[in-house]
Amino acid sequence: MFSSILVFLIVLSVLVLVHEAGHFFAARRAGVLVEEFGFGLPPKIISKKIGETEYSLNLLPFGGFVRLHGENVEEGITLPKRAFLKKSKKARATIVLAGVVMNLVLAVAAFAIVYSVSGIPKETEDVKIVEVATGSPAEIRGFRIGDTIEKVGKVEVTSVSGFIEEVDKANGARVAIEITRDQETKKITITPRENPPEGEGPLGVAISAIEVYFPPVWQRPFVGIYYGFKDAVFWGGQIIFGFVDIFKGLMGGSMPKGVAGPVGIFAITSQVATIGTLAVINFIGILSVNLAILNAIPFPALDGGRLLFIGLEGVMGKRILPKVESAIHTVGMILLLVALLAITIHDVRRIFSAGGVSNFISSFGK
């Protein structure tokens, strides 16, 4: 349990610190005074002032913040030239967006590390058996993991979809399947099942045409970044569609199953940690994309909400009263904390009703 908590805190710390570091460095570059860099949400546990910035550790480890001079209200501004509200719209928008950008950069970096170490997946025309179900026709007839499927009947197999299509055509009739094993060609006659058990196909095999290759060492970081960027785009799309489904579910009065709060993320992190370090790094990449997109939503208290007010200022030609904007963001933060509490309670109930962490994780997307 201690190791799971430690991994969870490390993952959370990396995500939060990278995000807030984006705001921190963008603010300093724009000449804005950073009054406090906080990890977690208040109340404050401990703090130390280094230079002109106070660094604090707070009780609720579910976020972080950078407090800028003159960020919300004009009262109390003692250094106008270094106040956030006194900066141009472009400078303020850059500071607000910097956290989102840094999370996307972290995601690409995480995926790039995974690909650099574990290799690059490449689709080939060699369709291989990667799993054989116990008691299935494939096991009974002697198929093995690693067999390369050459033909089904008289049709050459060059893709997973092509193999599935030809087996389905057999429709329960005997069919000859040609394979290559240890550089030898064999023909095995088999009868696909018409009504296979749930989770198994007619033959009882899992197949793949994906192979892993390793570019030269000096190329791996660059190739890893390329594929890491593609993964970030992919997960970004998945997360956006997921948020749409969540919104539809909430409008219908139900809590979507694909939502996880701190307790749920802790449970998933604990499970991922048992797989290995690369799995944890990959999970950090997925969470970082998630955090970037979540923060980009135009909701009060989120980065997207602050950016929305800057955009409205540009459209209307005048600034919304800082006191009014600050009050709206405060209400937004309260609503977010209430939602966080509701999701946390929901997570705990789901873990108990599922009968454990493994069943809880497998319930996502069902």
The number of CA neighbours under 13 Å toward the Cβ of 313 is 17
Measured distance CA(328)–CA(337) in Å, rounded: 14
Q: Is 20 a catalytic residue?
A: yes
- Fill in the amino acid letter for 61: P
Choosing from 20, 166, 200, 325, the catalytic residue is: 20
In sign, the C-alpha dihedral spanning 257, 263, 269, 271 is: negative
Q: Are 159 and 209 in contact (CB under 8 A)?
A: yes
| 306 exposure class (CB count in 10 Å sphere: 0-12, 13-18, 19+) | buried
Active site residues: 20
